[in-house]
Structure 1
Amino acid sequence: MAPSLEELMAMSPLLDEHMKLVRLLQVCSSSKAPGPPLPEAILDMFVAAVAADDADALRSLLDKHFPERTKNFPGTYIVSELLPVVSYAARHGKVVILKELFKYESDDSNFRDFAADDALDAGAKDTLLFFLEKGWDMNEIRKNKITFLASALSESKPPDKPDRDMVLWLIRHGADPNARSPDVDDTAMSRAVRYAPPSLICELLDRYGGGVRRGQLLHNALLRRPGDDLLEVMGLLLHRGAPLNTTKYAGDAGSLRHHTTSDLGTPLHVAASMGKAEAVQHLLSQGADTSICSTKGKTALQWAENARRDNVVAILRSPDQYKL
């Protein structure tokens, strides 16, 4: 039995979010209304066709209700009304159906990104493989300014994140852990050091080409949740040569242009301002330079004082600061 719209939205938080936005636009729009909601009875027929892998039935429904579906406003209903159909097909690897839904070269990339994200959430590799065979570039920078692999390595539903098997599958199919936005130095490795377990980070670095000189890795590692193997991650990054005494985005003109008003410091500055005493001590033991100033001329000690991190201030003022 095909699921209802409510059941579909319960399966996919992304679908729930998108459909709420579609409905809001339909309610708020006036003379430029994007069209009425697709009647539930018609949507049920679409979902039933997808559940049955019946491409002929789907094609007939598309021809009847979305005769000009390659256009932005195809007749009565907007294409976004088909997001539940796309979601169900993507999450269940219904490639025959996806071929019909993504039949035209003019397909909206937003639709594809939505389907890919839903497939990622459901672990549907057949769907992702379909998009790859259709020419999808996983390494392109998406509208949220990160790559698809970075999304896979980002925080999702604790404690099931990230999915090691999926991450390595993506890399084996062409995802680049070092791909970055032209605007800001943020890579998939930036996300890995924030969210992934040390074992996966080691694999990415040692077996799959992850680099430590892109992505501001030490700065990002300091954003790990408390008790989440921070010292171990810092240690493996430093052991592989991650920059220790450089301010964030140093030498990266593109990134600096986007942070002209920010005060950017070294990893020691960040650890000090966050009050992460053990991280501060670890950085000091590895040679962190306390005399380096941030882009606005502040030392790590001054950052700690400004943030009222008394425990770190005591460490940075101590003559034994380098001792663990």
Structure 2
Amino acid sequence: MGLFDNARTPHEHRLQTAAKTGDVADMEVGLQEWRNDSSISPPKASDLHLAAGIAISSNQSKALKYLLDQGSSVDNTLARQAAGKEGNNEQLHWLLNHGASPNVPCGRTNDTPLSRAARMNLMEPIDLLLQHGAELKASNALHAAASGGGPDDESLATMQRLIELGADVNAIQAMHVKQSGHNIGIHGTALHGAIRASKPLRVRWLLEHGADGTIRNEGGYSPLEWAKECRSSKELVAMLKKAGCE
């Protein structure tokens, strides 16, 4: 399914294309032409909302601001998207100030706004979300940082900050929604997550910062058993054994 398969008219397609490229001038012209077109209904907040989601996904902050100013509906989906994209701090702040929740998880992926920001090692959005009432407990933020794809040094700094803020290094990942084909998996601690993601530096860091190597995940696997199940490197397995993990 293509990015613009939900565009029902040429006007919608033009708006969404401009949102993707960040062409605010073309959005202005396109919206005016759409409003002047008496053959179809004028643009609704939901139309602007679809384009706003595309702007966030494409990291087009100016396009997002324009769409919000034009009346895009504000919801939790946009807040989650903005939290996980660098450069959208101003827009995230606006969304949170206008009713978007800093806590509502995604029904498909189980992501929370905090976990999306943590996965990308974005400290400004993390602080902004916390200032607006985000709950660190059960946010899965530490798990996201431990298993995310960013550089290790950035992830370690994020993990350090989250623990300083009160994240429980031994908490089992919270499941906020019913498991489905999108989010099915075996939930464990941040240590289990780092093992699954093959991140030995993060595994070592977690062990040095209080991670309990005996806690089992929801599948019943200890960290060492989980490493073998995930076919982890000999280096990682040896590290766990040396740390006394079971």
Deviation at 1:122, TM superposition (A): 4.9
The aligned counterpart of 1:44 is none
Distance in 1 (alpha carbons) for counterparts of 2:67 and 2:182: 38
Per-residue CA shift, 1:81-117, capped at 9, x if unaligned?
A: 22244345983463972882799599594x3333223
Amino acid at match of 1:83: E
CA RMSD of aligned residues (A): 3.6
Instruction: Determine which of 131, 154, 159 is the counterpart of 1:234.
Output: 159
Matched, 1:283 2:220: no
Instruction: Determine which of 297, 306, 309 is the counterpart of 2:220.
Output: 297
Per-residue CA shift, 1:127-178, capped at 9, x if unaligned?
A: 212325xxx2322xxxxxxx101212335xxxxx343233223323333221
Distance in 2 (alpha carbons) for counterparts of 1:313 and 1:101: 66
Contact 1:304 1:310 in 2 (8 A): no
SS of the residue aligned with 1:94? helix
The aligned counterpart of 1:123 is 62
SS of the residue aligned with 1:123? helix
Over alpha carbons, which structure has the higher Rg?
1
Distance in 2 (alpha carbons) for counterparts of 1:179 and 1:215: 9
Deviation at 1:301, TM superposition (A): 0.9
TM-score by length of 1: 0.59
Task: Tell me: CA distance 1:296–1:123, structure 2 relative to 1, closer, same or farther (3 Å).
Answer: same
Contact 1:291 1:299 in 2 (8 A): yes
Unaligned runs of 5+ in 2: none
Per-residue CA shift, 1:245-304, capped at 9, x if unaligned?
A: 232226x5x345778963222111111233322212222223211111122211111122
Contact 2:89 2:124 in 1 (8 A): no
Distance in 1 (alpha carbons) for counterparts of 2:183 and 2:107: 16
Contact 1:198 1:232 in 2 (8 A): no
Distance in 2 (alpha carbons) for counterparts of 1:137 and 1:177: 12
Tell me which of the two structures has the higher relative contact order, counting C-alpha pairs closer than 8 angstroms and 6 or more residues apart: 2
Deviation at 1:319, TM superposition (A): 4.9
Matches within 5 A, 1:21-100: 21=5, 79-87=8-16, 88=18, 91-92=24-25, 94=28, 97=32, 100=35
The aligned counterpart of 2:84 is 154
- In the comparison of the two structures, how many residue pairs are matched? 230
Distance in 1 (alpha carbons) for counterparts of 2:218 and 2:187: 5
Task: Tell me: CA distance 1:261–1:128, structure 2 relative to 1, closer, same or farther (3 Å).
Answer: closer
Distance in 1 (alpha carbons) for counterparts of 2:179 and 2:8: 39
Q: Which one is further off, 240-249 or 94-103?
A: 94-103
Distance in 2 (alpha carbons) for counterparts of 1:199 and 1:128: 21
Task: Tell me: CA distance 1:99–1:122, structure 2 relative to 1, closer, same or farther (3 Å).
Answer: farther
Matched, 1:263 2:186: yes
The aligned counterpart of 2:74 is 137
Distance in 2 (alpha carbons) for counterparts of 1:174 and 1:94: 26
TM-score by length of 2: 0.75
Instruction: Determine which of 153, 166, 177 is the counterpart of 2:102.
Output: 177
Query: Percent same amino acid at aligned positions?
Result: 27
